[in-house]
Structure 1
């Protein structure tokens, strides 16, 4: 993509025309809106990641609680491999659905 001033490199005198100035101002406004949109998109991904991390922590807390109950009451031990696989599947599906690349 060319810099908007490079377009008028061979016709610098056109930069003084009001219509060209209006066009350049419009381009600048669109660039600002694009930057804002990219920021909002990134911010939304941060919120998605935060939510995903909270869910993982919640899952870890549940496993810790289950382990404590096992030790206290002699229950069957948690299946950590299945839990890890479920957490990994959850994270990868959330990333795929929200186009987050790890």
Structure 2
């Protein structure tokens, strides 16, 4: 297979204009647990940016401290500001 499936997914998502289509696709690709883990990662980013301690985030979300630490590390490496702005706008 010459095409990278992940790149195909990114290209497809970039061209989707309908959130229902994106939801349908992600529901097909991700288990309920995976969807929940992604939602938790977004909440971790949000709470970290608000200055909540990793221990408090762990307790609040019911996840391990290692999960929060991985989220903090990812947040240091990647700019998630646009995602957080959308998240906060939706709440």
TM-score under structure 2 length normalisation: 0.33
TM-score under structure 1 length normalisation: 0.30
